[in-house]
Amino acid sequence: MMDRAALRLILLGVFLISATSDPVKKKQNVDIYSFYINSTVTSRYATTVITSRVANTLNESQEIQFEVKIPKNAFISKFRMTIEGKTYDGVVKEKEAAQQQYNQAVSRGQSAGLVKSVGRTLEDFKTSVTVAAFGKVTFELTYEELLKRHLGKYGLLINAQPMQPVADFKMDVHIQEKPGISFLEVKGDLSIGDLANAIKTTRADKDAWVTFYPTRDQQTKCKSCGENGLNGDLLITYDVERQNSKGEIMVSKGYFVHYFAPSDVPRIPKNVVFIIDRSGSMYGRKIDQTRLALLKILSDLDEDDHFGLITFDSEVSLWKRELLRATEANLENAKSFVKEIRDRGATDINAAVLAGVDMINRHPREGTASILILLTDGDPTTGETNKEKIMSNVKEAIGTKFPLYCLGFGYDVNFDFLTKMSLENSGVARRIYEDSDADLQLQGFYEEVAVPLLTDIQLKYPGGTNLTKTSFSLYFNGSEIVVSGQITDNSVESFTTEVIAVSKGNNVTYQDTIMTKDPSDVPPENEDFMQRLWAYLTVKQLLERQVLLKGQEKEDEKKEALKLSLKYQFVTPLTSMVVTKPQEGEVEVADKPKEGEAPPRHPVITSQHRPQSFLKASGYGGGASDPHLLHGQVFHHMSGRQHLIYDDAADYDYAYVLVPSFPYIKTAAKRVSVPKRVTVLSTQSGTLKAPTVHSNRFLLPVVGQSKPLCFDIPLPHKLRLLQDSASEFSMNGESLTGQNGFNQIALHYKTNHHLTIETTSIRYCDDQNQVYLLWGQELTRKYTEGVSLILRSNEIDVTMGNIHIVILLHKEKRNMFLWPAVQQESKDFSLTGVLGKTDASYEEIQGSQTPTLKIKDQEVSASWVDITDYRLSSKPVIKCWLVSFYAVMQRDISDFTVTKL
Ligand SMILES: *[C@@H]1O[C@H](CO)[C@@H](O)[C@H](O)[C@H]1NC(C)=O
Ligand SMILES: *[C@@H]1O[C@H](CO)[C@@H](O)[C@H](O)[C@H]1NC(C)=O
Ligand SMILES: *[C@@H]1O[C@H](CO)[C@@H](O)[C@H](O)[C@H]1NC(C)=O
Ligand SMILES: *[C@@H]1O[C@H](CO)[C@@H](O)[C@H](O)[C@H]1NC(C)=O
Ligand SMILES: *[C@@H]1O[C@H](CO)[C@@H](O)[C@H](O)[C@H]1NC(C)=O
């Protein structure tokens, strides 16, 4: 092996010779000449194989990467690399053993950092291997998952992002469902535009085939693609025929699976209580989205449903003491209550949930299904804060009578606590990701539980053993109950299932018997799928139960889950896959990443130690698609969890990410050589406390008067700041509770130019460009159609058509915020929006007791106040006449609010 110092010298040489070559060109030393994705779904059990064949086109050896994204629910079950005819298989080992092997390799200086990250629906798998000059490598990854039915359909999500256009790209999906496929749809961002032509769907009675063979050309021209080829998802959704309400049973080689999803059952009226966190941390978008979602959910209640609303911070407020019927009048009343929900104090989860339980318990109603839904974004901080105590209080109060569903909003929640509390009360916990669609996620969750059909479901299999979960508190329309197990006696000719449940207060039973000797329709090449399905489901359920158990039982179940993971070679939270590479003793470990580490909500760059030139030299200079590729910079985020971005300890010259599940910086995990220096850690702790600000004060230029007018707009809000319909221009801003100015300003011009400015970064896109900028870097760019951006230190100068705006980044105490200044004085067009008024005028009324102005023939009271003029970076404090918003604008603030930036 070449001495590392020598290697570095050679690399430096390369940089010198090709100083102008950009990183994109460098990548072309690697040719991915074929990329196949092959997915087979047999009875909802999906096995996907990704095969990538890559050639090193350089005349020297180099490291070649393989990186794919797989669904979070899936388990990796196989990985193999083939280099020069030799095969290297990944081996699944117990986590500790794998870690040990890895650590040993690290201590010999032979291994790269392990990389893992997890996003909302997908997680990363990534590895690399050194390939000789003109050599080839084949990567092959297999993962398996049981597709879950949601809202009446199954979804198979396949991500394709080969990192360059591929001459031979093929995606083949084969779905085989014994009862027949009732509908099938192909969606996702790879299914639109020209790419739609590359998709072919073939349907037979029980089979469907979807192929996706985009040409090289198509791979670069699609909407979500670029120079680097395809980048996006295909989502295949489908459902199966359900002729038999007793469900579908399949038996194969000693295992069975029973899918139970009757739909010909009347809905059960429900009693639903929403317990909504309105603590201070819900400020801004979260509380807005919660209100939006609740309003929609209320509209969806059925008239025979009863409902209750509880909001809580340190106090618990009930909309009404009793559950009320979802009549139109009650719903209208409840909506007014919801509109008034504001964020305020601390978080008393205990009191709030107990109030909800009490509400349901006080009026039990025959033949109904009760559901408690808790939405929170934080830990209990007041009242009872001991989580064990809260859980035991809640469990005792509910007493297995109905389920508790917990929705954890964002990353500051203790999701384990919510999971445990829901599981203890036969519900589930769901994470709501902080994003622009959080309201839709909330509604989506509600829709899944909107139509209860059965309660207290028990499934029995006299001829089965080692069964997965067989008892369920509720069954909702659109979902599915799946039970799998082993068959006790393989020689018996029939297999019987029995389901006992309660439908609207009546006991119902479903009994079915099938002949086990019937041909199973399972093709021989995947006839062991049912055994794997059983193992998959068993491991998933054992792992899920871990949070509920203690002591010996917990250990036993963990051992069982580990045993099965090893036997079936699943990469689960208990195991890791060890990949031994051709380079002497070099190992790499792939883990199942754990979800729940906080990504930086608003990453704040606290220090910029690394010169831009370094980033360029590492191939990450200008135009990098990922803004967070700033190695050596330290991010921390508002809740103050620690984030260590890289470590370049003395013996190492590699940067790598130590924080798993840190979606923002996943691509930063590429190995790059960095100058040796002491590691910088971000240890910022505690929430950033802002001086409390209640409103934003705006200055209004006036015609013919030396004293300006000003007005206040209360926080938080999302405002239409400026609009010019004629040139299709708009600028909107969002402000947060307690903070000056705006945290985000979005500008749109024509239909295709979008500029989003945040306190950390600036994003611009149009049809051709996607640019990510950071405050502090110098830049001038002009784009087509009259758009130009000039960024200098803390100002960005934006021209869009005739409109010229400067947006300033201000820093006060420890807060950063944005403030727009409109530079355009031309009267050629009519601007609207909060900043659009340019023709204000007034008269001072002399001799009145309190200062009074006459505006538009109205006498309005005014006060002579200070205002900081944030339109200038010097922030001068001047005086102005403060009047009400209505007085100057003649309209309500609500006429200027927007729901989307
Ligand atoms: C994909 O699967 C089909 C069978 O479903 C098989 O014929 C084909 O060879 C597979 N392709 C690859 C690349 O594995
Ligand atoms: C690789 O090719 C370049 C130019 O084509 C040549 O200068 C160099 O010596 C070659 N390197 C090796 C290791 O053959
Ligand atoms: C359950 O959903 C199906 C469609 O998925 C619908 O046809 C049926 O009416 C629903 N049942 C009830 C009770 O709402
Ligand atoms: C159930 O599973 C356990 C362990 O996986 C196995 O030892 C046992 O034989 C199984 N039971 C039956 C009846 O197959
Ligand atoms: C339903 O069955 C349970 C137990 O099997 C029994 O206690 C209950 O009385 C039954 N209810 C009705 C309405 O038949």
- Averaged confidence pLDDT in the chain: 80
- 112-124 mean pLDDT: 65
Distance 61 CA to ligand 2 centre (A): 12
Verdict on whether the full-model pTM lies above 0.75: no
Ligand 5 contact, 507 CB (< 6 A): yes
pLDDT band at 21 (very low <50, low <70, confident <90, very high): very low
Q: Which residue has the higher pLDDT, 363 or 596?
A: 363
Contact 319, 310 (CB under 8 A): yes
Could you state, in order of their start, the residue ranges of all structural domains in the chain?
2-25+604-689, 270-450, 696-896
| Percent of residues, the chain, with pLDDT higher than 70 | 81
Distance 34 CA to ligand 1 centre (A): 14
Ligand 3 contact, 452 CB (< 6 A): no
Give CA–CA dist 586/88, Å, rounded: 12
Distance 459 CA to ligand 4 centre (A): 20
- 699-722 mean pLDDT: 86
Ligand 5, atom 1: nearest CA belongs to which residue?
507
H-type helices in 546-607, by residue range?
551-567
Ligand 5, atom 8: nearest CA belongs to which residue?
507
Give CA–CA dist 327/54, Å, rounded: 63
What residues flank ligand 1, with Cβ below 6 Å?
36, 38, 40, 49, 51, 172, 174
Superfamily of domain 270-450: von Willebrand factor, type A domain (3.40.50.410)
Which tens digit of pLDDT belongs to each residue from 548-600?
Answer: 898 999 999 999 999 999 999 999 989 988 887 776 566 667 776 665 544 33
DSSP annotation of 832 reads B
Ligand 4, atom 3: nearest CA belongs to which residue?
466
Amino acid identity for residue 318 in this structure: L
Distance 699 CA to ligand 5 centre (A): 71
Instruction: Tell whether the torsion through CA atoms of 557, 560, 562 and 564 is positive or negative.
Output: negative
Ligand 5 contact, 243 CB (< 6 A): no
Ligand 4 pocket mutation pick from 253, 256, 461, 465 by most atoms within 8 angstroms of CB: 465
Task: Report residue 792 as tokens.
Answer: 């200098």
Ligand 4, atom 6: nearest CA belongs to which residue?
466
What is 210-232 written as a DSSP string? EEE---HHHHHHSTT-BTTB--E
CA atoms within 13 A on the CB side of 876: 5
Which atom of ligand 4 lies at the shortest distance from residue 563's CA? 5
User: Which range, of 19-23, 535-539, 574-578, averages the lowest pLDDT?
Assistant: 19-23
What residues flank ligand 2, with Cβ below 6 Å?
59-60
Closest-lying ligand to the alpha carbon of 10?
2
Closest CA to 214 of 174, 166, 173: 166
Give CA–CA dist 829/117, Å, rounded: 49
Which tens digit of pLDDT belongs to each residue from 24-82?
Answer: 344 468 999 999 999 999 999 999 999 999 999 999 988 888 889 999 899 999 999 99
Closest-lying ligand to the alpha carbon of 566?
4
For residue 390, pLDDT beyond 60? yes
Ligand 2, atom 3: nearest CA belongs to which residue?
59
pLDDT band at 519 (very low <50, low <70, confident <90, very high): low
User: Which range, of 479-493, 796-810, 812-826, averages the lowest pLDDT?
Assistant: 812-826
Ligand 5 contact, 366 CB (< 6 A): no
CA geometry: angle at 526 spanning 521 and 527, to 5°?
55
